[in-house]
Amino acid sequence: MLTAGHVNFGVLFLDRQPPTNCNQLSAHLYCAPMRFWHTPNPPAVNETNLRAIVRPTSKDTRPVNLDLGTIQLPVTAYASIAHRVTGVLMFFASFLLLWALDRSLASEASFEALGALLSSPVAKFLMWGIASALTYHALAGVKHLVMDAGIGETMRGGVLGARLVFVAALIAAISWGVAIW
């Protein structure tokens, strides 16, 4: 028996089996009014045919299963995805940077050991990646602030802003590479 709070949904079904899960319940509640003004019995409602029953006259031709490998996203989507990814990368990098700060402040010997560790090519590449991610994330954040101010809110402005952020981030990444190496 499916219940929500103090309401027992079993009393709504006098002639049929009550739903056993939330999908069946939402299908019943959404399609229940159809029973009162359609003379033929509506088709059985289940999770697979709910979309066809609820919107039989819809011109919705969206695919049900998306193949993400064939979708061509606009540059603004790539800019947004990259902004989110760099945010996650910075979150995890912050733990590494806090550890390095702790090691540098612990003692003179640990400071020297950290300096030797950070002079390795792998550590330099990691620091370049963190600096590049931080720069891209900051530039994309500034672009969002500018758009929040009402500048560049059109599709054309968004595309131009995304391209400018990508170019500026590339120039900054090259600059970080020169500075670190």
- Under a CB-based contact definition with an 8 Å cutoff, are residues 28 and 45 in contact? yes
For residue 78, what are the contacts with CB-CB under 8 A and spacing of at least 6?
A: 162
- Report pTM: 0.63
| 69 in any annotated domain | no
Q: Can you give the pLDDT at residue 81?
A: 95
Regarding whether 145 and 81 lie in a shared domain, the answer is yes
Amino acid identity for residue 118 in this structure: L
Domains: count for the chain:
2
Distance, in Å, from the CA atom of 90 to the CA atom of 44, rounded to the nearest integer, reads 50
| 59 in any annotated domain | no
Regarding whether 83 and 155 lie in a shared domain, the answer is yes
CA atoms within 13 A on the CB side of 153: 6
| 42 in any annotated domain | yes
- The CATH number of residue 167's host domain is 1.20.1300.10
From first to last of its 181 residues, the chain has per-residue pLDDT tens of 444 444 444 445 545 666 666 566 666 555 555 444 445 565 566 656 555 555 555 666 665 666 767 778 899 999 999 999 999 999 999 999 999 999 999 999 999 999 999 999 999 999 999 999 999 999 999 999 999 999 999 999 999 999 999 999 999 999 999 999 8
First to last CA, the chain: 67
In terms of residue numbers, what domain contains 38?
A: 3-54
DSSP output for 32-48: TTHHHH-SSPPPPP-TT
